[in-house]
Amino acid sequence: MHNDKNKLGIIFFPAFDWAISPTHPEREERLLYTQDQLWEEGVFDIKGVCEYKPDVAERTDVERAHFCFPDVDAVTTRSHMIAAGGAIRAARLVLENECDKAFALVRPPGHHAMKVVHGSRGFCNINNEAVMIEYAREHYGIKRVAVVDTDCHHGDGSQDVFWHDPDVLFISLHQDGRTLYPGSGFPTECGGPKALGRTINIPLPPRTSDEGFLTVLDRVVLPILDDFKPELIVNSAGQDNHYSDPITNMNFSAQGYALLNQRLSPHIAVLEGGYSIQGALPYVNLGIILAMAGQDFSHVREPDYNAEAIRQDRRIDDYVDALCDQLPALYFDPPSTPEDGSFSNGCYVRKKNIYYDTDGITETQVESLHLCDDCLGVLKVESKSSVNPKSLGVQLYAGACESCRSLALDMVEQARLKGDYRFIQFINRCDKEYSRYGY
């Protein structure tokens, strides 16, 4: 019989009755073969592995992490609330010590969902990890969290949500943005003025194989995690780096994903993308689960696995080597100012244009962070999109100083009285109050 190494909770919610559209990659069938494989392999009979039902996230859980315009209900469906609830359940299992580790195998994904949400981009509406982390921080008193995003696409949503937060270390490994959606995720993007070096982007060239991923993990990710000492490590476990994925160009394997998970040893994994639903997901998920449970995964292999066919080119070895030499400095010795944006009147300001490819929405944003020497300051986002008139989001961080607190309250009050905002949302982490106006 199996030894129980780790108690692993799996929240498996395939949403068998939900799709973006009938032939969309994000459709009912996506986790069908994964379920078949996990059941046939007897994963849930392994001692220490247990299946749990997701929670259903509440509106407040989303409002704690996002500015949703016009409101949460308008930009989410029940499936999103259950996927985010699945991530919350994973955090509860771990933080309440019911499990050592937890894997939220849920859909739809979330890592392209940014701080402000007007609709769906990159198949994501709300950011499951962000909702989970803010829930965990509010309910369990943890502070420092690391998110390692191993989806093939740059986790631009998660990067945006945590851009100004020095207590969340966000590391994304992905296919180089010059060759793949969403086109971002370069090393120069390394965090806002208060969180420089807390966003680390590792763009890898197309056809990077197990070797490249594991080298980057050993030489960049793990040393940084060692230093950061997070209370919780979260893996955004996208599986589209797989050599068989239809919409990407990487050469990662199930065995590679399992090894990565074994070495990273995250407390929580949350499924992100991955659309080779027959050739990759069944095997990658099996590998990740066995690795998280501390079980032997050496026999996990895709039926069509061919080491020669996916071997990494020498030029990729060299490229990865160079990345490994340069990237740790971004964390250990970050630049003194962000690469973009400008400073004016005690604020850091940046302007953004965002395209929601899934819903075809365009958004323009002016984001400004009031800079404070005593706390993280006050974040203010003015946003306008093709579906919503100019709206405002204000966030006060946990542990804010008294003057920032009054500034934020005043900002919201003034906006309500005199502003020309259609919708206003106030995330007050300091007092744990989440309010909306203009509805």
Partner 1 sequence: MYLGIDVGGTHTDAVAVENGAVRASCKIVTRHEDLLASINGALEEILAQVDAGAVRQLNLSTTLSTNALVQGRIDDVGVLVSCGPGVDPASFAPGRHFYIIDGAIDHRGVESRALDKAAAARAVDDCRKQGVNVFAAVTKFSIRNPSQEIALKEAAQDADFVTMGHTLAGRLGFPRRVATAYFNCAVWRLYNGFVNAVSESIRAMGLNCPVGMLKADGGTLPLDVSRSFPVQSIFSGPAASVMGIIALCDIRQDSVIFDIGGTTTDIAVFAEGAPLIERDGISIGGHPTLVRALRVRSIAVGGDSALSVAGGLVRVGPQREGPSMAAGGGRPTLTDALNAAGRSAYGDVAASEKGIADMARDYGVDARKFAETAIRSAVDHIHQETRAFLAEINERPVYTIHEMLEDRRIVPNRVYLMGGPSHSMSGDVREAFKTPVIVPENASVANAVGAALTRTTHDVHLFADTQRGFLLIPSLELSEEVGKNFDLKAAEAEAKRRLGERLREIDASTGFDDVEITESSSFNMVSGYGTVGRNIRVKAQVKPGVLERINQS
Q: Report how far residue 269's alpha carbon sits from residue 6's, in angstroms, rounded to the nearest whole number.
A: 14
- Within 8 A by CB and 6+ apart from 41, the residues are 286
- Residue 14 or 438 having the CB closest to Zn ion: 14
Binds partner 1 by CB under 8 A, chosen from 5, 6, 20, 56: 56
| Residues in 255-294 at the binding interface with partner 1, rule: CB under 8 A | 278, 282-283, 286, 290
Interaction pattern, residues 148-187, with Zn ion; x per rule: CB under 5 A: ---xxx----------------------------------
Count of residues that interact with Zn ion, criterion CB under 5 A: 11
Residue 161: HSE in the Cβ half-sphere, 13 Å Cα cutoff: 34
Count of residues that interact with partner 1, criterion CB under 8 A: 49
| Shortest Å, Cβ 28 to partner 1 | 6
Is residue 202 within 8 Å of 216, Cβ to Cβ?
yes
Is residue 243 within 8 Å of 249, Cβ to Cβ?
no
Is residue 315 within 8 Å of 322, Cβ to Cβ?
no
In the set 66, 80, 111, 112, the catalytic residue is 112
Binds partner 1 by CB under 8 A, chosen from 9, 26, 48, 52: 52
Q: Pick one of Zn ion, partner 1, none as the site partner of residue 240 (Cβ within 5 to 8 A by kind).
A: Zn ion
- Residue 221 or 254 having the CB closest to partner 1: 254
Candidates 78-86, 124-132, 226-234, 379-387 — which segment interacts with partner 1 by CB under 8 A? 78-86
Query: Which of 284, 276, 282, 240 has its CA nearest to residue 259?
Result: 284
- Residue 112 appears among annotated catalytic residues: yes
Tokens of 4: 């129980």
- Residue 238 or 338 having the CB closest to Zn ion: 238
The DSSP H or E segment spanning 138 is helix 128-140
What is the number of other CB atoms lying within 10 angstroms of the CB of residue 92? Answer: 21
Q: Report how far residue 330's alpha carbon sits from residue 188's, in angstroms, rounded to the nearest whole number.
A: 8
- Does the footprint of partner 1 cover residue 39 (CB under 8 A)? yes
| Shortest Å, Cβ 220 to Zn ion | 20
Is residue 196 within 8 Å of 190, Cβ to Cβ?
yes
- Does the footprint of partner 1 cover residue 243 (CB under 8 A)? no
Q: Pick one of Zn ion, partner 1, none as the site partner of residue 404 (Cβ within 5 to 8 A by kind).
A: Zn ion
- Does the footprint of partner 1 cover residue 301 (CB under 8 A)? yes
Q: Report how far residue 139's alpha carbon sits from residue 150's, in angstroms, rounded to the nearest whole number.
A: 27
Q: Report how far residue 111's alpha carbon sits from residue 249's, in angstroms, rounded to the nearest whole number.
A: 19
- Residue 54 or 419 having the CB closest to partner 1: 54
Burial class (CB in 10 A: 0-12, 13-18, 19+), 414: exposed
- Residue 1 or 417 having the CB closest to partner 1: 1
Tokens of 267: 């407390």
Candidates 23-31, 147-155, 360-368, 384-392 — which segment interacts with partner 1 by CB under 8 A? 23-31
Tokens of 262: 């074994």
| Residues in 231-260 at the binding interface with Zn ion, rule: CB under 5 A | 238, 240
Binds Zn ion by CB under 5 A, chosen from 119, 157, 273, 282: 273
Name the one residue in this structure whose structure tokens are 């949703």: 68
Of the chain, the end-to-end C-alpha distance in Å amounts to 58
Q: Pick one of partner 1, Zn ion, none as the site partner of residue 401 (Cβ within 5 to 8 A by kind).
A: Zn ion
Q: Pick one of Zn ion, partner 1, none as the site partner of residue 372 (Cβ within 5 to 8 A by kind).
A: Zn ion
Is residue 65 within 8 Å of 129, Cβ to Cβ?
no
Q: Report how far residue 113's alpha carbon sits from residue 68's, in angstroms, rounded to the nearest whole number.
A: 11
- Does the footprint of partner 1 cover residue 78 (CB under 8 A)? yes
* Catalytic residue positions, numbered: 112
- Return residues touching partner 1 (CB under 8 A): 1-2, 12-18, 22-23, 27-29, 32-33, 35-37, 39-43, 45-46, 51-54, 56, 78-79, 82, 278, 282-283, 286, 290, 295-296, 298-305
